Structure 1
């Protein structure tokens, strides 16, 4: 067939383009020139008008996708000619199928706007009329509409009272309607937020059907949306109780083992939501925790983050679950993800390790964490800073861990966090300093880095002072007696002087106390003598 596109298209000058192959004109649909696009659409319209065979030819040549883009083109003439093609091509069944997949309905409806040309209105209506021949399009549009309006509680009540849930479940139970299942499930997800709906579904067996449907489905979007529906519902305590009674934990553990990353992440989020129910928290211990530990090594960052959040919620206030993480060989992957890309992953991995550290046997089995925690301490994210400081506080009670932190240059970023304007970050940093100041070497190094001055400043402010700032200051001084004596002028009965103590004399506020090494290299002067206590015999 000869396709002639030499017709004049005002306001452009006539351009004569003739081709014996429709493929050539289809290629022109990707042109950056509006005049070429308008003429190409016009030629394709004439070609498609000659019969169904030509429509199939255009479909096979890939004309539908570029035409779909042109339906929303900024040039009104290009838009008009493109919608004219759609209007007649939609009469073909195969074309309609592709149009459904491309989800063209909203774009075509937009062409019915009052400012559009009457010809555009005519062909847009024709396209919608062809699409509506198949009633499942109609259903899809209805479900999408319900998906939006069912976010409103009053609408959900009306839907329930008019047996809307029955119709939704009929769609879900019909295999032939599998192209509608995702949208139907989205509406059900919104309805599950209401306790009344949840109770009704439990009584009628609908909830059990829904969970079975999610568990058995092989469609990733359905698995993902089912998990999201559970997450929405689980925000309500009564709903959590009902979901636990229906053994929701088994369904979510199954979804953790799917091949789809979206479903895994959504299932992990649902587990986090269900953790508010203590019985559910225990139910995930045997099978759920080992699977979540495996997900920490996922290449997908969203999955990794969701797994870390779930483990953080599972181990909070649950020593048994913390032990289960260790038994599932979760220590190494948790330490590894402290260097992950996402702040949420890092913060929650730190939380899990902190939860594990409350048990001494577990804490002693975790090695190398202070080397890795230095990077999160230097994060710009306040949540990561807070959780990292808390981790230092949890592990800093061991002398080896403090030595490790000192050697990894971790004390400096910790001291910097004392300046934070975020109350929680500052509080946890004070806590960590208080714990780490338990030995003289660390206390002296913290003082050298300026921790003492910052803490004194914090304690003078009623707004910045916290439960640990005064304790941290006292601990720093009690483990750096030379500093304490020079600063406050006295020692308490519990302060035991050991070799290496020296009396420099009273130092003025803000003046740094020099170390013995720094003092020893100074030349003799007429200042007050420095008294050094050292009972050891000098080495020969």
Structure 2
């Protein structure tokens, strides 16, 4: 046999290029390779881009700038499996960049990616297609497009894949889609996605279990989905999951899912019947991870939302467990525990239990925590514990909680302030506690939050003001703190609850004359009149507030309503600025006193209290302002002579300053009316001793008529020079304000006012009514003194007192003669 000849290599044809191995370190070169027609080149270029993109976001931006995104978006649909796989991997890494996501949406690549989720596609393609979608689903605009392209159905089908990477990416994508997106949450339920998700709770890989729990937690926000979750035995599986020790690191997510389910009464009933409550209590009482305990306590809070559940939890001694958690060195646990206490406090028995077990003091201590979340939750807990429970309110006081609460009102966040103010409101129902709260500067602290726009905060703060202002000291502190103008502004609120509570606070503050006058100064009367004229905004508190303001500011009441009843007692300080229409502002006396003399009707003032130039009450030898500390008498011991002398010198200096202040402010004070003082003395001495009320009325009418020019017949009324007389008095006084006692020629309105002022001094009941054209009259109720048979009583009759034409005559009310007296 001849020797075998050696085979010669084939000579390449002319149209073929010899194989060429390319290595490149330049990304722009590799990007150019993406446009190659050779599968091997394309696959290697995609792989190189993936590796480069994995090194950081800066590289992804570089690749996008070189134009790599668009060819990659086309290559995911390439015929070659290796090219498609590598293109998906590169695109998935690139999609971590926000700008790349926007570009992919603009290139409309998402439908093409979703099409690769079909069952016919290779598992490797499924893996990287779902990975790419999971990354894109973090962008809201892409999320919407993914949902609109109906990606959820194939993604749910892929939950049954045998490849754990496909399952993990699919769950992650679904999880990202349902975050804060109600349509996606509903679609998962409608596409029957709950069973396959529950099936993955026992997955081999914890990351899949965690993503499943987070997905279920998101979709069970919706009530219908929770119903479907229960129907698929979701509660049973979650409780079983919680009792499995090997899943301890995932118990936080499982408890958070359970919290959502406990929104429904049916779920709560199942928890009770299945022993799930004991499971929850185990997490609360057994030392474990703080995150697990806080989630368990949150679930307890959800359970306690139902009345029956609170009773059951109380029977399980839940209060004891919660008190133990209050001392844990973890802010999240303490915060959740305080919130649970707040919910459980809706049960009166639990309120008492927390007090009996000394649970209130540690909550008070948490008011001083460095964590704002803990402080807020502590105040919330105390608000619940003290609501309707005065023993708990006193326990807060004993733990020195009032000081911390006032500090919280002053410096806290809106929610802290709201809860702290609520606790102070509950405590202030007790006088001793109220005084202590006021001594901590509560009224000053409430002024700042009173200017907030937060409606919940405003309701709580205004309620606190109302409760603390129920006595003179509280009102004075609030007035001095400058809170009244801000309270009046709150009356303008469009929120019904805020406005109603503000009206209530105004009605409380208006219980004394100084505060009522100050409120009127800031426009409270006008606002309340406007509110009460509206059928939508009017409420019983606004009506009470308006009446209280008028009752304690008779000058404004007479000006606006033209009527003072027998119970409206005119005292020194009253002035009549004339009739004002509803909604008009009644001028403040100080403003009136500063006006130059004008042609308008004079302001008639009542002040029978003699004062010297320094503001001292000569009749009672008392100073009008708050007196300084009294000097020790000869019988009192003085432990430090030099210290006492220093006080004396300081007091003398204060007195001098006070006198200078009084002189400076003399213009704004009511002028003393010595003539009125004399009339009061005469009425007291000569009229008060009269036994018959009818005789007192007649005698007083004669006194008033005599003081103001005597009888004037109706025919001569036009000749009575009262207007000229008042004009002369204005120039004599150099003021538009005229003391009523100085009027010697007075007409109906002046005589009626003087009669009312004197009648009130001697205890003779009468009203003051303003008519038109300077008419005014007094009405009295007098019982007929004629003897009646036993058991029969006369009804008092209303009479109009004649002070002008036939002084002393009592005209039967509503008679023609009375009407003639009242009208021109």
SS at match of 2:540: coil
Summarize the Cα distance change of 1:437–1:149 in structure 2 as closer, same or farther, 3 Å threshold.
closer
SS at match of 1:371: helix
Could you say which residue in structure 2 is the equivalent of 1:536? 610
Of 34, 40, 46, the match for 1:10: 34
The CA distance in 2 between the partners of 1:511 and 1:147, in whole Å, is 59
Give a deviation string over 1:325-353, Cα, whole Å, max 9, x none: 21222112211222455322222221111
The CA distance in 2 between the partners of 1:521 and 1:180, in whole Å, is 77
1:128 matched to 2:199? The reply is no
Give a deviation string over 1:8-50, Cα, whole Å, max 9, x none: 54259x9xx9xxxx999864554321258979xx9xxxxxxxx
Could you say which residue in structure 1 is the equivalent of 2:546? 473
Structure 1, gaps ≥5 residues long = 43-64, 81-86, 91-98, 116-120
Summarize the Cα distance change of 1:106–1:295 in structure 2 as closer, same or farther, 3 Å threshold.
farther
Could you say which residue in structure 1 is the equivalent of 2:405? 334
Could you say which residue in structure 1 is the equivalent of 2:319? 249
The CA distance in 2 between the partners of 1:511 and 1:37, in whole Å, is 74
- More displaced stretch, 373-382 vs 336-345: 336-345
Q: Mapping of 1:283-294 within 5 angstroms?
A: 283-285=353-355, 286-294=357-365
The CA distance in 2 between the partners of 1:287 and 1:159, in whole Å, is 44
Summarize the Cα distance change of 1:147–1:453 in structure 2 as closer, same or farther, 3 Å threshold.
closer
Q: Report the Cα offset of residue 371 of structure 1.
A: 0.7
Could you say which residue in structure 2 is the equivalent of 1:364? 435
TM-score (norm 2): 0.51
Of 259, 265, 275, the match for 2:329: 259
Summarize the Cα distance change of 1:3–1:291 in structure 2 as closer, same or farther, 3 Å threshold.
farther
The CA distance in 2 between the partners of 1:341 and 1:11, in whole Å, is 63
Q: Report the Cα offset of residue 203 of structure 1.
A: 5.7
CA contact (8 A) 1:198 1:207 kept: no
Of 412, 418, 427, the match for 2:491: 418
1:209 matched to 2:279? The reply is yes
Could you say which residue in structure 1 is the equivalent of 2:227? 154
Q: Report the Cα offset of residue 199 of structure 1.
A: 5.4
The CA distance in 2 between the partners of 1:507 and 1:290, in whole Å, is 56
1:384 matched to 2:408? The reply is no
Of 448, 457, 463, the match for 1:375: 448
The CA distance in 2 between the partners of 1:194 and 1:529, in whole Å, is 68
1:33 matched to 2:106? The reply is no
Could you say which residue in structure 2 is the equivalent of 1:463? 536
Q: Mapping of 1:438-453 within 5 angstroms?
A: 438-453=511-526
Summarize the Cα distance change of 1:488–1:154 in structure 2 as closer, same or farther, 3 Å threshold.
closer
Q: Report the Cα offset of residue 517 of structure 1.
A: 3.5
The CA distance in 2 between the partners of 1:510 and 1:153, in whole Å, is 55
The CA distance in 2 between the partners of 1:66 and 1:341, in whole Å, is 46
Kindly indicate which of the two structures has a greater share of residues assigned to helix: 1
Could you say which residue in structure 1 is the equivalent of 2:246? 176
CA contact (8 A) 2:168 2:207 kept: no
1:349 matched to 2:349? The reply is no
- More displaced stretch, 287-296 vs 445-454: 287-296
Could you say which residue in structure 1 is the equivalent of 2:384? 313
Could you say which residue in structure 2 is the equivalent of 1:118? none
Q: Report the Cα offset of residue 523 of structure 1.
A: 4.5
CA contact (8 A) 1:194 1:233 kept: no
The CA distance in 2 between the partners of 1:423 and 1:25, in whole Å, is 58
Q: Report the Cα offset of residue 366 of structure 1.
A: 0.7
Could you say which residue in structure 1 is the equivalent of 2:696? none
Q: Report the Cα offset of residue 414 of structure 1.
A: 0.9
The CA distance in 1 between the partners of 2:136 and 2:530, in whole Å, is 64
SS at match of 2:572: coil
Structure 2, gaps ≥5 residues long = 1-22, 73-91, 114-123, 152-157, 170-199, 615-824
Q: State the superposition RMSD in angstroms.
A: 4.5
The CA distance in 2 between the partners of 1:333 and 1:524, in whole Å, is 55
Summarize the Cα distance change of 1:316–1:228 in structure 2 as closer, same or farther, 3 Å threshold.
same
The CA distance in 1 between the partners of 2:429 and 2:580, in whole Å, is 40
Give a deviation string over 1:237-281, Cα, whole Å, max 9, x none: 222222222222233333333333333332232222222222223
The CA distance in 1 between the partners of 2:453 and 2:63, in whole Å, is 48
The CA distance in 1 between the partners of 2:212 and 2:595, in whole Å, is 86
The CA distance in 2 between the partners of 1:276 and 1:314, in whole Å, is 8
Q: Report the Cα offset of residue 149 of structure 1.
A: 5.7
Could you say which residue in structure 1 is the equivalent of 2:350? 280
Summarize the Cα distance change of 1:458–1:240 in structure 2 as closer, same or farther, 3 Å threshold.
same
- More displaced stretch, 404-413 vs 69-78: 69-78
Q: Mapping of 1:224-239 within 5 angstroms?
A: 224-239=294-309
CA contact (8 A) 1:195 1:239 kept: no
CA contact (8 A) 1:199 1:242 kept: no
CA contact (8 A) 1:227 1:270 kept: yes
What is the number of equivalent residue pairs in this alignment?
490
Q: Report the Cα offset of residue 360 of structure 1.
A: 1.7
CA contact (8 A) 1:485 1:491 kept: yes
Give a deviation string over 1:298-355, Cα, whole Å, max 9, x none: 3333333333222222222221222222122211221122245532222222111111
CA contact (8 A) 1:501 1:534 kept: no
Q: Mapping of 1:385-404 within 5 angstroms?
A: 385-404=458-477
Give a deviation string over 1:336-382, Cα, whole Å, max 9, x none: 22245532222222111111111222112112111111112111122
TM-score (norm 1): 0.75
